[in-house]
Chain A
Amino acid sequence: MITLAHFQVLAAALFAVGMYGVLSRRSPVIILMAIELMLNAVNINLIGFAAFGDFPEAHRTFGQVLVVFVITIAAAELALAVAIILRLYRNKGSANVDDVNIMKW
């Protein structure tokens, strides 16, 4: 029997894995992938609540609508991030987040 807790724990674990990736890797592309994993964790949570939550019909539907919005914003964010990585690579000759410290005070 699947319960809501299964979805919540899976989402929490996926979010933690993504968080580890963001904090520990040096390649911006890997960091980008880890951010996508974290966004997917949020989506799993929303879908889980939409399927199992004892809410009015309109609220449960809104859970799925929110997932559509999250996916769209994730696509926009990804396009901008890839553009920034390419720009960085072209200007600095490398794409290592440790080299990007001009705004570090």
Chain B
Amino acid sequence: MITPSLILFYLAGALTLGGALGVVMGRNIVYAAISLIVSLLGVAGVFLLAFAEFLALVQILIYGGAIVIVIVFALMLTRLDEFQQLSEHKQWPLAALSALAFFGVLAAAIARTAVTTRDRAEVSFTALSESLFVDWAIPFEVVSLVLLVALIGAVVMVRRTGERS
């Protein structure tokens, strides 16, 4: 049965997959970054259709904002002309074949595995925050520490060391 939510799902899915194909197939690296934004916004739409509105907002803010900006900075700080005309490896047919084979295996596994499902239900915002800050408070703190260490490590790594060359 075609419901409006199904049409919206196909729309968001097409945006996601189209953007993803634009990332991996495009010839121009700047267009690839823009395709990535489209794809990530499509993923946010899919989140909304699963009633995960908080995570959809997080997706737009962190992926659409921060992560794509960092990638664009990486493009600006490395030489662009080298990748103006992108090319694939010689073995791209092998890569396509293995990706297709992997998708086939996943699709077969999805079709064969029986999961007891029920109607779409939202996870309430209160339950999410309680779970995050009460049940999983320690992992949450650890993961924020990991983020801090990674960012400091990134700064240390790119800092110019005056002595060498």
Q: What is A's interface to B at a CB cutoff of 8 Å?
A: 1-10, 12-21, 23-27, 29-30, 32-34, 36-37, 40, 43-44, 47-54, 57-58, 60-65, 67-69, 71-80, 82-87, 89, 94-96
Contacts and interface: CB of A to CB of B under 8 A. Distances in A.
A54 B89 contact: no
B50 to A, nearest CB: 4
Interface of B: 1, 3, 5-6, 9, 13, 16-17, 20-21, 23-24, 29, 32-33, 36, 39-40, 43, 46-47, 49-52, 54-55, 58-59, 62-63, 66-67, 70-71, 73-75, 77-79, 82-83, 86-89, 91-92, 94-96, 98-100, 102-103, 106-107, 110, 115-123, 127-128, 130-132, 135-136, 139-140, 143-144, 146-147, 150-151, 153-155, 157-158
Interface of B is mostly: helix
Nearest to A98: B89
A84 to B, nearest CB: 7
